[in-house]
Amino acid sequence: MTTYRAAYIPPEPGSNGVGVLLTTHEHCT
């Protein structure tokens, strides 16, 4: 539940989204 809480309460949803997208792209490539 701790992990869910941290992911559910991000500091900046906009910034986090971009970061996650970048990370996913790197992993895919």
Where do the structural domains in the chain lie, given as residue ranges?
Answer: 1-29
Q: Give the integer Cα–Cα distance in Å for 14 and 29.
A: 23
Give the chain's largest Cα–Cα span: 31
DSSP-assigned letter for residue 17: H
pTM of the model: 0.20
Q: Give the integer Cα–Cα distance in Å for 10 and 18.
A: 13
Which pLDDT score is estimated for 22?
55
pLDDT in tens, 1-29: 455 454 555 556 555 555 555 555 555 55
Which pLDDT score is estimated for 9?
54
